[in-house]
Amino acid sequence: MSEFPEGFLWGGATAANQLEGGYQEGGRGLSIADALPGGKDRFKIVSQPDFDWTIDTDKYTYPNHEGIDFYHHYKEDIALFAEMGFKCYRFSIAWSRIFPNGDETQPNEAGLKFYDDVIDECLANNIEPVITISHYELPLNLAKRYGGWKNRYLIEFYETFARTILTRYASKVKYWMTFNEINSAAHFPVMGQGLVPSTGANDKKNVFQAWHNQFVASAKAVKIAHELRDDIQVGCMILYATSYAYDSNPVNQLANLQHNQDFNFFCADVQVRGAYPTYTKRLLAEYNLTFDDLETTDGDLALLQQYPVDYIGFSYYMSSAVETTGSVTDTVAGNLMGGVKNPFLKASDWGWQIDPTGLRIALNELYDRYQKPLFVVENGLGAIDKPDKNFYVEDDYRIDYLKQHIEAMAGAIDDGVDLMGYTPWGCIDLVSASTGEMSKRYGFIYVDLDDQGHGTLARYPKKSFYWYQDVIKHNGLTKK
């Protein structure tokens, strides 16, 4: 087993909207995540043509409102992370805690104070904070009044938000990411771009425009960050799902190449290389668009070029396969995207195809392409845990999944990849993003809370907690 580099950032990852709760406390405004109903139909509901972000508590439950109440439990939770030996903790800052409506000019001090406390608590426990500036939690007002990221005004609002939090925390926080899974909008623009069908989500021009605005906003954040601190590291964050051609049919090979360009690489190419890739022309043409259809300026393009990101953060849960001749009809679900079933892989309870080798491939593909440090900022197994009467969960299935992915990372490091760290997703159980369920658990720490909001909120280490503690202690797996 190879050694992980010294200083490797072992940790865990969460997002404000999925764990904080306290959705109306400390002057916080509403975010789009507050308007997502809980349950397996979440995406179906928000994809209805008439969905307009109305929160209807008579009809639906809204588990993101309470999350796991990290807002009041952060000290206890960070102490548990420290007990596992976390070197870093990735979390996001709820934009609507700082700017309740997103378009104010003055920040909400109570919101800033909350993150002062969270950051200080991390530092007191020798945990390096890793902050996602925007993780699927646009202020609701920006989605309702401005129509989400397709509106260029949002660049300015994001810049104000980013400048405020970077100025406040940059001296204490070295690692940042600008947008969570920015490329996920290719399949589902609701969470990343605040776009729903009634505001144009089904018109690809809006999705590309929203991306452009986000790219510019991201470059501005990189600029601000570097002006504040020389050694600051600002990354992009993409959803990477390694993709295989289903077979050696050249037609499928070409389709897979294009799928990789369009999904896995497009956003990162702009954010890392600082320019739109050549295949943008083909990609836009597929939707009868040209680059001139987008509202861009020379100043925008210069900013992209001048302020690329410093590293590539990415989530990796599963891989997918591409088949375009229609000969394979067996399909599977996935992280915001499905595909044809790969006969060599098993899937999770939610149909995500488990593929640790795909992570080694992902790391090689990304490093070959960009030669910038990589950071696996999400990975994990969403599963149904069955605690015993003492609330102890023997989650060997999760250990098995994580172990195989850590082996894959070690393999990639042997291959020469520069890997900075690993923050498994939902290090403490939280509300799932795609289905709003508590029962889809990822954590090393069990939280006593069910899908109906019942439970004591007490926290209990699972078997994986002690296993991960050992991994961190030894800077890697001790035996194969």
- Which residues are the active-site residues? 378
Which of 218/432 has CB closer to ligand BG6?
432
Minimum distance from residue 104 beta carbon to ligand BG6 (Å): 26
Which of 47/253 has CB closer to ligand BG6?
47
Distance CA 118, CA 94 (A): 13
The residue with tokens 């904080």 is 20
Stretch that binds ligand BG6, among 19-27, 74-82, 146-154, 426-434 (CB under 6 A): 426-434
Minimum distance from residue 434 beta carbon to ligand BG6 (Å): 3
Handedness of CA 116, 118, 123, 124 (dihedral sign): positive
Distance CA 377, CA 315 (A): 6
DSSP-assigned letters across all residues of 208-254: HHHHHHHHHHHHHHHHHHHHH-TT-EEEEEEE---EEESSS-HHHHH
Q: How many residues bind ligand BG6 (CB under 6 A)?
A: 15
Among 164, 242, 432, 464, the residue binding ligand BG6 under the rule CB under 6 A is 432
- Binding to ligand BG6 by residue 353, rule CB under 6 A? no
Minimum distance from residue 194 beta carbon to ligand BG6 (Å): 15
Stretch that binds ligand BG6, among 80-88, 162-170, 293-301, 431-439 (CB under 6 A): 431-439
Residues between 196 and 215 that touch ligand BG6 (CB under 6 A): none
Give the length of the chain.
480
Contact flags string 140-179 toward ligand BG6, x per CB under 6 A: ----------------------------------------
Among 212, 220, 403, 440, the residue binding ligand BG6 under the rule CB under 6 A is 440
For residue 420, CA distances in Å to 40, 118, 405 come to 35, 23, 15
Among 157, 425, 444, 467, the residue binding ligand BG6 under the rule CB under 6 A is 425
Distance CA 171, CA 327 (A): 56
Q: Which residue is nearest to ligand BG6 (CB)?
A: 434
Q: Give residue 468's identity as a one-letter amino acid code.
A: Y
Residues between 357 and 386 that touch ligand BG6 (CB under 6 A): 378, 382
Among 96, 134, 180, 206, the residue binding ligand BG6 under the rule CB under 6 A is 180
Angle, helix 463-473 to helix 70-84, in steps of 10 degrees: 50
Minimum distance from residue 9 beta carbon to ligand BG6 (Å): 18
Distance CA 480, CA 464 (A): 16
Distance CA 380, CA 395 (A): 12
Cβ partners under 8 Å of residue 56, min gap 6: none
Which of 209/434 has CB closer to ligand BG6?
434
Among 127, 374, 402, 433, the residue binding ligand BG6 under the rule CB under 6 A is 433
Cβ partners under 8 Å of residue 246, min gap 6: 252, 321, 322, 323, 328, 340, 342
Q: What is the largest CA-CA distance in the chain?
A: 63
Which of 7/351 has CB closer to ligand BG6?
351
Alpha helices per DSSP H over 338-379 = 356-370
- Binding to ligand BG6 by residue 132, rule CB under 6 A? no
- Binding to ligand BG6 by residue 15, rule CB under 6 A? yes
Give contact residues for ligand BG6 (rule: CB under 6 A): 15, 18, 136, 180-181, 239, 315, 335, 378, 382, 425, 432-434, 440
